[in-house]
Amino acid sequence: MSQAPPFGTICAMSPAMPTAAVAPALSEELLRRFDTPGPRYTSYPTADRFVEAFGPVEALGALQQRAQGATVGGRGLLSLYVHIPFCESVCYYCACNKVITRHHERATEYLDALEREVGLVRSAMGGSAQPVTQLHFGGGSPTFLSDAEIDRVMASLRGAFRLAPGAELSIEVDPRTVTPQRLEHLRQAGFNRISFGVQDFDPKVQQAVHRVQSFEMVRELMKSARSLGFESINADLIYGLPRQTADSFERTVAQIGELRPDRIALYAYAHLPQRFKPQRRIVSAELPTAADRVAMLGGAIAGFLARGYSYIGMDHFALPGDALAVAKRQGRLHRNFQGYSTQPDCDIIGLGVSAIGRVGPAYMQNAKTLPEYYDALRQGQLPVVRGIALTRDDLLRRAVIMALMCQGRVEFESIELAHLIDFRKVFASELQQLEPLVEGGLVEIEPGAIQVTATGWYVVRAIAMVFDRYLREDKLRERFSRII
Ligand code: SF4
């Protein structure tokens, strides 16, 4: 594993990235102007733009075309995402697609269906074992599965695909569901990256969100993971939760700093109780104010930078020796449904209920409920229910938005060469729309490039949104989370 390296220099970062010396401030006024609801751009077009006209037939066609070599993204690399939806108890902030149950026997029917899906995908791809360089288990809680069930899934995947030597095999872990022995089993099963859902260490906050797990427990597990040789250990945190204060969150940041995971994902809590039922159990009056949230974000960024972490982008930090930080410095960072990635833009096969995939110039999503998912597979059909075939305009805008989200910079010439356009002509109106952000000091427009400033990283989504064609006439922005 990439052992936690010593405090490293951050001077190799892009000069516009926040550094320990310059933790940027976002004024109340800028916040009011630019903290609007917006997508996180793990894809463009975003998943809410997928349409039902793209279904199993179209998905099958995309897989078959890939098998024939017609549309192979990312130099032929393939990534797998496996969604395990079950959790034993609900966290009140949750916005994931999950099924709350204590009945572990429900996993058997699910794994039967998953195996059928793996078989269908394999035969659609020509029946030969495709090389896979990245595999991610997410959820829900993948560790709801027993060790034997995890082995069963891995055996099915290894039977259908060829896991390349050195492939990244990662898994999300709910600390409450594992022991050091279980981590050892995951390591033996081949996982080399692990992500712990921490969120906050303050007991009052944990009670308010119905997710109680002690600092000591997480410390013990991270220590075990490290000694077991996991190459990268991630911790997820959330700010904006009920009962959090700038001071309490600073303590959590300090505790995480002490554990020294290789990567930290810091998410903003999106309170959308009308969309996500568990959130109705959160007491709105206990939520921090917008100003508190800015203080928490600013404090966390400054805290992690001061502890030697590099700022990767919107919501990620990594130790300078971690592959993500190295990719950032070398301009090789990408973004996919799991967030930032070192993997080149490659095809992704999404397996399991609600999983999203990307094959060639198309995105596709599986059925969101278990009955629908099971039903499709019983009929021998891919369980895809929605998707989108990208147009030339989508591909062009995706390139611009991903450059902003990953590098904080768009070089006109590279977009012009790749898409055969005149950037200033095609995006004349967008460049004009950027003016208020330029005035706010969030972005700079150079003769041949757009550069996100250090402060602009706080609202990089707002900058990307300018290039999102689908948002133009959209009157329903409130369905997205706020940017900060
Ligand atoms: S946050 Fe994670 S563990 Fe909690 S209910 Fe949602 S999916 Fe399950």
Residue-wise pLDDT tens digits, 78-110: 999 999 999 999 999 999 999 999 999 999 999
d(CA 199, CA 79): 27
18 vs 446: CA distance, rounded Å: 20
Place of tokens 């077009």: 45
pLDDT value, residue 69: 78
SS3 of 19, please? Answer: coil
Nearest ligand 1 atom to alpha carbon 174: 3
∠ Cα 191 192 196 (to 5°): 85
Name 82's bridge partners: 137, 351
Q: Is the CB of 99 under 6 A from ligand 1?
A: no
Residue 481 is predicted with a pLDDT of: 59
Question: What distance in Å separates the CA atoms of residue 444 and residue 438, rounded to the nearest whole number?
Answer: 6
Q: What is the DSSP letter of 482?
A: B
Pocket-testing residue among 84, 86, 87, ligand 1, by greatest number of atoms within 8 A of Cβ: 87
Q: State if residue 94 touches ligand 1 by the CB under 6 angstroms criterion.
A: yes
Cα dihedral across residues 286, 287, 293, 297: positive or negative: positive
Q: In the beta sheet, which residues pair with residue 356?
A: 365
Q: How far is the CA of 238 from the centre of ligand 1 (A)?
A: 13
Query: Is the peptide bond preceding residue 408 cis, with omega within 30 degrees of 0?
Result: no
Cα–Cα distance list, 168 to 19, 135, 149, 276, 318 (Å): 29, 6, 20, 32, 17
User: Which residue has a Cα nearest atom 1 of ligand 1?
Assistant: 94
User: Two tokens at 125?
Assistant: 């791809």
Q: What are phi and psi of 442, to 5 degrees?
A: -95, -25
Distance 86 CA to ligand 1 centre (A): 9
Strand partners, 434: none
State residue 473's pLDDT score.
62
**What local confidence, expressed as pLDDT, does residue 306 receive?**
95
Cis peptide before 303 (omega within 30 of 0): no
Give 91 Cα–ligand 1 centroid separation in angstroms.
5
Q: Which secondary structure element, helix H or strand E, spans residue 195, and what is its range?
A: strand 193-199
The answer to whether residues 346 and 167 touch, using CB atoms and an 8 Å cutoff, is no
Task: Check residue 227 and give its pLDDT.
Answer: 98
Cβ–Cβ < 8 Å for 427, 467: yes
Q: Which residue has the tokens 């609600």?
A: 354
| Predicted pLDDT of residue 217 | 97
The answer for 324, left when phi > 0, alpha when psi is -120 to 50, beta otherwise, is alpha
Cα 455 to Cα 469: distance, rounded to the nearest angstrom: 25
Q: How much is the pLDDT for 14?
A: 39
Question: Is there a contact between 443 and 34 (Cβ–Cβ < 8 Å)?
Answer: no
Residues 140 and 100: their CA atoms lie apart, in Å, by: 9
CA 122/CA 351 separation, integer angstroms: 12
* Residue owning the nearest CA to atom 6 of ligand 1: 94
**Please, which residues bridge with residue 197 across strands?**
236
Ligand 1 center to residue 361 CA distance, Å? 31
Longest dimension (CA), the chain: 61
Ligand 1 midpoint to CA 278 (Å) = 10
Distance (Å) of CA 296 to CA 33, 205, 290, 291: 19, 14, 10, 9
Tens digits of per-residue pLDDT, 237-287?
999 999 999 999 999 999 999 999 999 999 989 899 999 999 999 999 999
User: What is the amino acid identity at position 453?
Assistant: T
Asked if 314 and 461 touch (Cβ cutoff 8 Å), the reply is yes
Rounded distance from Cα 88 to ligand 1 centre (Å): 9
d(CA 193, CA 179): 16
95 lines ligand 1 (CB under 6 A): no
The residue type of 424 is R
| Those residues with Cβ within 8 angstroms of residue 391's Cβ, 6 or more apart along the chain or in another chain | none
Question: Do the strands 232-239 and 193-199 form a parallel or antiparallel pair, or are they unpaired?
Answer: parallel
Is residue 174 within 6 Å of ligand 1 at its C-beta?
Answer: yes
Name 378's Cβ contacts closer than 8 Å, sequence gap at least 6.
none
Residue with tokens 């290894």: 158
Each of the 484 residues of the chain gets a pLDDT tens digit; together they read 332 222 222 222 333 555 544 445 566 677 667 767 788 899 999 999 999 999 999 999 999 999 887 655 545 789 999 999 999 999 999 999 999 999 999 999 999 999 999 999 999 998 878 899 999 999 999 999 999 999 999 999 999 999 999 999 999 999 999 999 999 999 999 999 999 999 999 999 999 999 999 999 999 999 999 999 999 999 999 999 999 999 999 999 999 999 999 999 999 898 999 999 999 999 999 999 988 988 898 899 899 999 999 999 888 999 999 999 999 999 889 888 888 888 887 899 999 999 999 999 999 999 999 999 999 999 999 999 999 999 999 999 999 999 999 999 999 999 999 999 999 999 999 999 999 999 989 999 999 999 999 888 888 999 999 999 998 766 545 555 555 6
